[in-house]
Amino acid sequence: MMGSVRSRLRGLIFTFALLAFLILAAASSLLARYNSRYKGLLYNVTTASEFNQDFKSSIDLKMYYYVIDSQYSEGLPLDEVHAAQQLARELLSTTTEKDSRTAISSVLSLCQNLEEKITQLQSTDSYDERQRQLENNIYVLTSLIQEYMYNYLYFEAARLHALQTQIDRQLVMDFMLIAAATGLLVLFLTWRALRLGRSITGPIAALCARVEGIGSGDLEEREPIRAEEYELRTLSEGFEQMVGRLNRQIQETAHNQERLRRTELALIQAQVNPHFLYNTMDTIIWLIEAEKTEEAVEMVSNLSAFFRHSLSRGQDIITLREEEEHVCSYLQIQQARYKDIMRYTVNIAPELRSAMIPKLTLQPLVENALYHGVNLKRGLGHIYVTGRGEGDEILLQVTDDGVGIPPEWLAQLTRSIEQGERVGFGLSTVHERVQLFFGPSYGLSISSQPGAGTTISIRIPWRKETTAP
């Protein structure tokens, strides 16, 4: 049966207290019974002794004074006889031994006979007859009463002695029984305590071994340790649940890292676009042929800076200043090709430049604005890259005044980005990377008006360079 450690300890204490109480109650009951019997016999003996000492001499003397008509006469001693009868009845009601009951019954009968003889003597007028009745009746009856009272005392005293011997013998037996019961109680409680101790220490040792295994890298979720105590069972279940969550978290983190690497690789591959590289190199060749050496050198420098920032020394998180330089390199390269149709403005608040951001966040959005916004527009187009702080967050926006996005396509694009589908010219990849780094509260959103342009917003937490992961 399962229970808490506290309840099992309470049960053990309750069992001990109950058994100890039962032993004490049994011993107290035996002592009370023997004490009651002993007190009853002692009371009978004491009362009978007092009665026997005074009764005969008092009755004989009072009857003698009455017969001789002495001035000391107090009348007939009927009250004493009645008191003796009442005392004999009380002794008879508390006496259980046969010989003692016979003796005290005789005393009661003789007292009734004595009362009759006293009454008979009272109605006798002759002095000689009174003397004869006093000698033959009164004195004889008081002697018999005294003799039977002695017999009663003898029987009760003998019974009192026998009871004392029985009590002594019974007390020894009772003590032995109580000692045996106490020994059994101690053995039982020791067994229960050892069993309780094993039921606690065994699971604790298993838990310690499990913790050591977890510390050594064993993160497989296992069956909880079986324990009779609720607390230990709950602790083991909590350990296994924690291990399971930790294992799942590690696997999820590894999966997220893998996803992050894939998205980063996809973005880097997008940067090394053969068409972009071919067109750029073709422009450089044209500039050299046109003897525009300075412009060609500047474009080569921008191309070098573009790829250098794409690699970012292998780091996943860079400063917003570095991301801004990467975007400027890209825009300068593209402006050399599209100088008749594209202008750009980069305006990021200076205090934000030390904030940390996943690399390759803004450039895919700028590329999207160029090829699917400005490039499809007739005439000159403008791309705006802005950044401002909003409390403990940063809002980055890439805006173009190009052709915009139709509402149905915008709705589909927004849904695809939220579901992680690979559509939207790299937008889903940027959104996914931001959420992998900063959580689901952050990411990318799009607003657009057909014929008016498109704004892509990215919201990230404001983390300084010194607190970057």
The CATH number linked to 111 is 1.20.120
List the beta bridge partners of residue 343: 382
E strand or H helix that includes residue 331: helix 320-337
**Among 150, 177, 192, residue at a domain's last position:** 192
- In this structure, the answer to whether residues 155 and 49 fall within a common structural domain is yes
Q: Hey, what amino acid is at 173? A: M
Total domains present in the chain = 2
Cα Rg for the chain, rounded, in angstroms? 59
Residue-wise DSSP of 25-59: HHHHHHHHHHHHHHHHHHHHHHHHHHHHHHHHHHH
Examine residue 40 and state whether it is found in any structural domain, yes or no: yes
Domain that holds residue 408: 272-467
pLDDT tens digits, the chain, 469 residues: what are they? 455 556 666 666 777 777 777 777 777 777 777 777 667 667 777 777 666 567 788 888 888 888 888 888 888 888 888 888 888 888 888 888 888 889 889 988 998 998 898 888 888 888 888 889 888 888 899 889 888 888 888 888 888 777 778 777 877 787 787 788 778 878 877 887 777 677 667 777 777 777 777 677 666 766 666 666 656 667 666 767 777 677 777 777 666 666 556 555 455 445 445 556 656 776 777 778 777 777 777 778 777 777 666 655 557 788 999 889 889 988 988 888 888 889 999 999 999 989 999 888 898 899 889 988 888 888 899 999 999 999 999 999 999 999 999 999 888 888 888 776 655 557 887 888 888 888 888 999 999 999 889 999 999 999 876 444 4
Examine residue 324 and state whether it is found in any structural domain, yes or no: yes
Examine residue 351 and state whether it is found in any structural domain, yes or no: yes
Q: CA neighbours within 13 Å on the CB side: how many for 167? A: 16
- In this structure, the answer to whether residues 188 and 307 fall within a common structural domain is no
E strand or H helix that includes residue 286: helix 274-289
| Contact indicator for 59, 138 with CB cutoff of 8 Å | yes
**Among 176, 192, 208, residue at a domain's last position:** 192
- In this structure, the answer to whether residues 313 and 462 fall within a common structural domain is yes
- In this structure, the answer to whether residues 15 and 149 fall within a common structural domain is yes
The CATH number of whichever domain residue 331 belongs to comes to: 3.30.565.10
Q: At a CB cut-off of 8 Å and minimum separation 6, what does 468 contact?
A: 317, 356
User: Tokens 């966040």 — which residue?
Assistant: 361
With 0.95 as the threshold, say if the pTM is over it: no
Examine residue 266 and state whether it is found in any structural domain, yes or no: no
Examine residue 226 and state whether it is found in any structural domain, yes or no: no
| Contact indicator for 323, 308 with CB cutoff of 8 Å | no
- Smallest CA-to-CA distance from 110 within 56, 37, 69, 190 is with 56
Coil, helix or strand for 449? strand
- In this structure, the answer to whether residues 161 and 294 fall within a common structural domain is no
- Smallest CA-to-CA distance from 324 within 362, 351, 355, 365 is with 362
- In this structure, the answer to whether residues 164 and 65 fall within a common structural domain is yes
Residue 70: predicted pLDDT: 84
**Among 192, 210, 230, residue at a domain's last position:** 192
Both tokens assigned to 378: 């007739």
Examine residue 243 and state whether it is found in any structural domain, yes or no: no
